[in-house]
């Protein structure tokens, strides 16, 4: 197996605001500063970049140069379809003019994907959903959710689009809320270039088993990307991967390996109060433990235990591999 | 619109055990006693009956007579594919002999459906799922989940089968865990006689909006039945309908009415410590408030508010109807 | 009983940012603009104001004039001990210099309380807590949490300090996380001028019954204030009061009335995507329904049902009052 | 440090029923059979035994003989104040006659504690609480919760009583629901012989950090016992310890060691579908990993990281110890 590649959303290296610390958890950073921080992480090859750039006047050439000097390439572009103008929805905004703006922004992002030779346009429609009982016509909302994505995939048949589902936040309920709902929508749209980007933490706090979610997406031929982090199962805390759920993280990667899924292992962490380079290194160093544990794990014995659904035997096999690979 | 029919799972009138009160929350009741209690509820027309009967020697004729004297008919039969022999799964049991037993029991239940002229066989595969990380091969488990249901539907093309999904309990995770996952499975199986029985409480504590879940099932042509209750959003508490979430309950029925879904309104409550007849009456009396509120609600204005996704206006319309229909 | 007074946190009339909509859910508003919006709400008498003011150069006189022309007075001042400089904690910051700054800011806020003749200084130590396993010495953290509040109360014996507990956000876990923990801390500190401001939503999503929490705080003589809103029980959604949990909201106010607690009924809502005046009016109009329902409720019959712990009877009494008072 | 002692609730070796598998997850076992199973666990010294015994005619001598031949002693006795007669509460039952029965049963259990030279009477008032909004008078319920325990402690000043708090189940809400609430009640009762038995899983799914809960109970001088297991943070799943949350389990024991708390490490697991001896061995083998990790952990460095609240450094120290001690 080739050397595992690691990646991160570039926002890992940003500073953040929230509704309380409105002045931010640190001074704002330019995209170039973020890229230079990403370059300091010990084993990072690719990044996912938000579009439009934090600094709107920044040229693609400047970004490319910064990436190059840090030995980074671009895996995906994430259009910001969740900022103020899209506060009431991007694909599902009641205003057709705003829906048009969303389409245009994503098409612009598609061009950046082409420019950087990236793998995909990432769609995270965080403002598409609802907050209150009775607020929306659920048929209509879901139809618009599918139409918005389908239109983009039709307009750009040469590119892949990945949907990053999430149960909620910032909306109280997002329309693409789970792996099964997203697959159901993708099958309904019926285009080959739409897939899922599975965020381990979204899956976990949505009540899924991330390993099961990955298997389901793979079985539908739609696992186009993934990223990891951790949380306390009640919210998208975007903590350092492995800090709370090392066993389920291991099971997730076991599922990928078993299915010979060989994409990039990405981070989607928000180190609000931590040093972002340290937080990335802490995660990747544990992911390397998992890599080694996968090399050591007895896959045949595990399959046998799983065929018997023998939880105790399976757990012992997992522990034997994970806790001896540090 | 014809007079709304009300129903209940016959277990509403049982007594219960749990892992602590192992001697039960009351003396065990025979099926006939339960039917006679159901008959005391003010406006109940149909029941869903577990099979095999609590008293295995009971004849169908005796049950029929008891139903008749209480003016009750049978809407569905629920085979008990979740008792001791199925503790490690019915459709997904690692032992093919047990999977065979499950198939046979459901086929027997199908005959009871025919005998009573009921609407459907209800499948609630509560033991099909997993408890621990690494315990199961998720592809295999999901395939068996679909195969087990598909085989039954193929064997009985004259009958309808409804799957009652649920996030968890008694398993830590059930394979049919959500509306979207269940629809995805049903679409994959590809038979016309498999649908969903949507339990309001399962949907609610699974993080769904029950109204949205109902709309999705309807849009896939698969909403074959439903029942209501209430809970505190963290567990399947099976409390009295409307006791905690009257607004979302109203939205759920609004969605059914808007789609002209005209099936029975059923109860799935577990009154552990309450009088079961009183608990049923308390629920139905509130459901009648909702019925009147639906008659009063300005559907055109609501649609208009929802088209604008105007939460405040929609809430006012809902309140105006619900709080004046008591 | 005197006419019920209504209040709101002035932030109800702000616009918001979060970690995604970093450009905000609308253009920033000045404090004066917020006060003028508050003045448009139909029945609002008091506000709680953050300190320092959004516009640091604003004079107290200007604020006072704006309040006066809107017929508003000040119930409390909320020092912003949760912005960037306090990102790693106010009372529990590992840096004693920052702890000193927090103390100074709250003492400044205390002077504003005196200036406006307000009731209390409100402490919401949202950054005091932890995010990760092993991150903190729990004894030390709790001791600092108590010391910080105790010092302030000692320095200002003429004023009341209220602690608004909350399970989490922005910290993954706040040290003042529940009514019982907060009371335990207050009793340990042992000063008479420290109490609780009970936020209905914090209590609800923390797994408490807000009515029980209120009773406990009252029985310890520490319920100094309260505010309401609503949520989906998993997060501090700060939705419009009564939009999801009208029954428990009614039980909460029933408990206050029963105990003759006669403070202001305040709102703590964050209408991210709604018109803030409409959102306040929607809440207050429902609170007035509750007021009328309390006047109508048969308290003696309710007490009798509760003495018997008769859930069905108590629910009927509550419904009879609430659903006929619209 | 002396060799660590391990224990288990004897119910770990029972079979179980729940509301679905009413015929149980296996054939019923006698107490003697359970004790003989406990004796097969590799390193188990003590057990906690329910009273009355499963087989009511069993003599204390017979039990003692069975314990002796398995090298087991008794750490505590758990009176079954949560079976049918106490379905509506033990200490808080609205019927004073039932409250009297609860008191008598616990006093009988106290005699068994004396007979076996056990450490404590364990009180787990699982039926004391409420299910519905408006069901109880919260002041009254809490007062009865405290009175019931206080009376017992007064009647038996020579014995220790431990309260095992739990958020919910079988009640929708238990009155002793959290560490802080329980400590608040204990302080109010004011007797020296009442403490807490901290169940790791109850703390975890109640939203606490078990390490913080342990520290708080220790700081109040009330941590009289503890047991461990694991869950998915939403329910009391009573899974095998370490199977989901090894890091927080390690932090919990780190807190005990740091405070020189040297009691027995007990298991409270419910292996519904697993072999109970294997499940106990799987847990204890991981607890021994934790023991070794505690011997290896650099406590001074950890204290230093915690003084700085440096999550990344603290996590690295914890990982360095835990993942190299297998």
Cβ–Cβ under 8 Å, residues B49 and B12: no
Q: CA D220 to CA B54: how far, in whole Å?
A: 51
Q: What is the mean predicted confidence (pLDDT) over C288-293?
A: 98
Q: What are the Cα distances from residue D6, in Å, to D13, D38, D196, D277?
A: 15, 11, 18, 14
CA–CA gap between residue B314 and residue B319 (Å, rounded): 9
- The Cα–Cα gap between C65 and D174 comes to 50
In terms of Cβ atoms closer than 10 Å to its own Cβ (0-12, 13-18, 19+), residue D25 is buried
DSSP per-residue string spanning D83-123: SGGGTT-STT-SSHHHHHHHHHHHHHHHHHHHHHT-SEEEE
Q: What is the pLDDT of residues C31-90, one digit of tens each?
A: 999 999 999 999 999 999 999 998 989 999 999 999 999 999 999 999 999 999 999 999
Smallest CA–CA distance, residue A146 to chain D, in Å, is 32
* Dihedral of the alpha carbons of C211, C216, C220, C221, in degrees to the nearest 10: 0
Within chain B, residue ranges assigned H as helices are 31-40, 60-69, 96-116, 138-155, 179-189, 200-205, 210-219, 246-258, 276-296, 299-307, 311-322
From A324, A308, D284, A218, select the one nearest B135 (Cα to Cα). Answer: A308
Q: What is the pLDDT along chain D (326 residues), one digit of tens a residue?
A: 458 999 999 999 999 999 999 999 999 999 999 999 999 999 999 999 999 998 989 999 999 999 999 999 999 999 999 999 999 999 999 999 999 999 999 999 999 999 999 999 999 999 999 999 999 999 999 999 999 999 999 999 999 999 999 999 999 999 999 999 999 999 999 999 999 999 999 999 999 999 999 999 999 999 999 999 999 999 999 999 999 999 999 999 999 999 999 999 999 999 999 999 999 999 999 999 999 999 999 999 999 999 999 999 999 999 999 999 99
Residue A306 has pLDDT above 80, yes or no: yes
Mean pLDDT, all residues of chain D? 97
User: D-chain residues within 8 Å CB-CB of A322?
Assistant: 323
The answer to whether the beta carbons of residues B148 and B92 sit under 8 Å apart is yes
Q: Residue A230 gets which letter from DSSP? A: B
Q: Which two tokens stand for residue C67?
A: 């309040």
The answer, for A55 touching chain C at a CB cutoff of 8 Å, is no
Nearest CA to A168 out of A141, A137, A207, A136 is that of A207
Location of structure tokens 């188990």: D44
**Distance, CA of B283 to CA of B287 (rounded, Å):** 6
- Under a CB-based contact definition with an 8 Å cutoff, are residues C228 and C241 in contact? yes
- Using alpha carbons only, what angle is made at residue B95 by residues B90 and B99, rounded to the nearest 5 degrees? 35
The whole-angstrom distance between A277's CA and the closest CA on chain B is 30
In sequence order, what are the beta bridge partners of A76? A48, A120
- The b/e string for C87-111 (b: 16+ C-beta within 10 A; e otherwise) is bbbbbbbbeeebbebbbebbeebbe
**CA–CA separation, A37 vs A277, rounded Å?**
7
- Binary contact (A316, D282; C-beta < 8 A): yes
- pLDDT tens-digit readout, A257-305: 999 999 999 999 999 999 999 999 999 999 999 999 999 999 999 999 9
Look at residue B56 in the predicted model and tell me its pLDDT.
Answer: 85
Q: Of C82, C178, C179, C182, nearest to C126 (Cα)? A: C82
Query: What CA–CA distances, in Å, run from B271 to B5, B21, B28, B282, C29?
Result: 21, 14, 14, 11, 51
SS3 B313: helix
Q: For A61-112, what is each residue's pLDDT tens digit?
A: 999 999 999 999 999 999 999 999 999 999 999 999 999 999 999 999 999 9
Question: Cβ(C165)–Cβ(C177) under 8 Å?
Answer: yes
Residues B76, B66: contact at Cβ < 8 Å?
Answer: no
Contacts of B199 (CB under 8 A, 6+ apart): B164, B165, B166, B226, B227, B228, B229, B268
pLDDT, position A56: 85
| D219/C139 Cβ within 8 A | yes
Closest to B13 (Cα-Cα) out of B45, B37, B32: B37
> Nearest CB to D87: which of B21, B82, B131?
B21
Residues of chain B above pLDDT 70, percent: 99
Averaged over B151-176, what is the pLDDT? 98
CB contact under 8 A, C83 and A22: yes
Touching A (3+ Cβ pairs <8 A), the chains are B, C, D
Q: Are B60 and B104 in contact (CB under 8 A)?
A: no
* Cβ–Cβ under 8 Å, residues C323 and B289: yes
CB spacing of C315 vs D140 below 8 angstroms:
no
Q: Which of B87, B122, B241 to probe the D interface (max D CBs under 10 A)?
A: B87
- Integer-rounded Cα radius of gyration of chain C: 19
For D181, name the nearest residue in chain C, comparing CA atoms only: C180
Burial label for A137, CB within 10 Å (0-12, 13-18, 19+), is buried
Q: Is C89 on the interface with D (CB under 8 A)?
A: yes
CA distance between the termini of chain D: 20
Q: What φ, ψ does residue D77 adopt, rounded to 5°?
A: -120, 130
Distances D178 to B144, B233, C199, D206, D219 between C-alpha atoms, Å:
41, 19, 19, 7, 16
Q: What is the full DSSP assignment across D225-285?
A: EEEE-B--SSS---B-TTSS-HHHHHHHHHHHHHTT----EEE----SSS-HHHHHHHHHH
How far apart are the C-alpha atoms of B77 and B123, rounded to whole Å?
9
Q: Which helix (H) or strand (E) holds D49?
A: strand D46-51
Among C162, C179, C321, C197, which residue's Cα sits nearest to residue C254? Answer: C321
Catalogue all structural domains in chain C, each as residue range(s) with its CATH number: 6-275 (3.20.20.150)
Q: Do B128 and B172 form a contact (C-beta atoms < 8 A)? A: no
Average per-residue pLDDT for chain B: 97
CA angle centred on C279, ends C273 and C282, rounded to 5°: 145
CB C224 within 8 A of CB C248: no
C254: contact with A, CB 8 A cutoff: no
Q: Can you tell me whether residue B219 is helix, strand or coil?
A: helix
pLDDT value, residue D1: 47
- Integer Cα distance of A212 and A234 in angstroms: 19
pLDDT in tens, A183-227: 999 999 999 999 999 999 999 999 999 999 999 999 999 999 999
The 10s digit of each residue's pLDDT in A110-162 is 999 999 999 999 999 999 999 999 999 999 999 999 999 999 999 999 999 99
Q: Do B315 and C240 touch (CB under 8 A)?
A: yes
Pairing of strands B194-199, B160-163: parallel
B122 at interface of C, judged by CB pairs closer than 8 A? no
- C-beta atoms of B316 and C282 within 8 A: yes
Asked if D270's CB is within 8 angstroms of B19's CB, the reply is: yes
Q: For an interface test with A, which of D247, D285, D313 has the most A Cβ atoms less than 10 Å from its Cβ?
A: D247
Angstrom distance (rounded) from CA D271 to CA D25: 10
Nearest-CB residue to D215 (from C88, C138, C254): C138
Distance CA A34, CA A17 (A): 16
Residues D171 and D127 sit within 8 Å (Cβ to Cβ):
yes
Nearest-Cα distance to chain D for B154, in Å, is 27
Q: Which residue has the tokens 């949490």?
A: C145
Nearest CA in chain A to D323: A323
- Pick B244's closest partner by Cβ from D133, D240, D270: D133
Name, in order, each residue with C-beta under 8 angstroms of D267's C-beta and a sequence gap of 6 or more.
D6, D7, D8, D9, D12, D227, D228, D229, D241, D280, D283, D284
Question: Which chain A residues are closer than 8 Å to C244 by Cβ?
Answer: 133
Q: Between B and D, how many CB-CB pairs are < 8 A? A: 94
Closest to C138 (Cβ–Cβ): which among D138, D212, D305? D212
As a whole number, mean pLDDT of residues C230-255 equals 98
Cβ C126 vs Cβ A20: under 8 Å: yes
Which chain C residues touch B233 with a CB distance below 8 Å?
A: 232-234
Is D22 an interface residue toward B (CB < 8 Å)? yes
Query: In angstroms, rounded to a whole number, what is the distance separating the alpha carbons of residues D316 and D306?
Result: 12
CA distance A25 to C8: 27
List chains touching D (3+ CB pairs under 8 A). Answer: A, B, C
Residues of C in contact with B248 (CB under 8 A): 244
- Asked whether the beta carbons of residue A309 and residue B209 sit closer than 8 angstroms, the reply is no
Collect all residues of chain B within an 8 Å Cβ-Cβ radius of residue A202.
none
């Amino acid at each position: 197996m080739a050397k595992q590649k690691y990646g991160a959303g570039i926002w890992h290296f940003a500073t953040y605001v929230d509704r309380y610390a409105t002045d931010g958890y640190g001074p704002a950073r330019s995209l170039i500063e973020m890229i230079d921080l990403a370059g300091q992480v010990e084993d990072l090859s690719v990044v996912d970049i938000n579009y439009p750039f934090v600094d709107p006047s920044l040229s693609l050439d400047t970004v490319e140069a910064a990436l190059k000097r840090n030995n980074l390439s671009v895996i995906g572009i994430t259009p910001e379809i969740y900022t103020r103008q899209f506060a009431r929805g991007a694909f599902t905004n009641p205003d057709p003019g705003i829906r048009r703006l969303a389409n245009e922004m994503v098409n612009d992002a598609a061009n950046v994907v082409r420019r950087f030779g990236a793998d995909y346009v990432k769609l995270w429609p965080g403002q598409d959903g609802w907050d209150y009982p009775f607020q929306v016509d659920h048929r209509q909302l879901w139809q618009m959710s599918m139409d918005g994505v389908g239109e983009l995939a039709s307009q750009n048949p040469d590119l892949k689009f990945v949907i990053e589902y999430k149960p909620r936040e910032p909306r109280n309920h997002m329309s693409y809320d789970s792996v099964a709902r997203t697959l159901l929508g993708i099958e309904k749209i019926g285009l080959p270039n739409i897939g899922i980007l599975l965020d381990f933490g979204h899956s976990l706090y949505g009540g899924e088993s991330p390993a099961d979610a990955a298997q389901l997406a793979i079985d539908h031929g739609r696992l186009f990307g993934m990223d990891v982090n951790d949380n306390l199962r009640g919210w998208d805390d975007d903590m350092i991967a492995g800090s709370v759920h090392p066993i389920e993280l291991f099971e997730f990667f076991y599922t990928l390996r078993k299915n010979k899924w060989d994409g990039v292992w990405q981070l989607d962490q928000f180190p609000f109060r931590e040093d972002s380079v340290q937080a990335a290194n802490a995660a990747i160093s544990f992911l390397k433990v998992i890599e080694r544990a996968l090399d050591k794990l007895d896959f045949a014995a595990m399959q046998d235990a799983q065929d018997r659904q023998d939880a105790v035997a399976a757990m012992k096999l997992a522990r034997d591999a994970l806790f001896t690979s540090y």
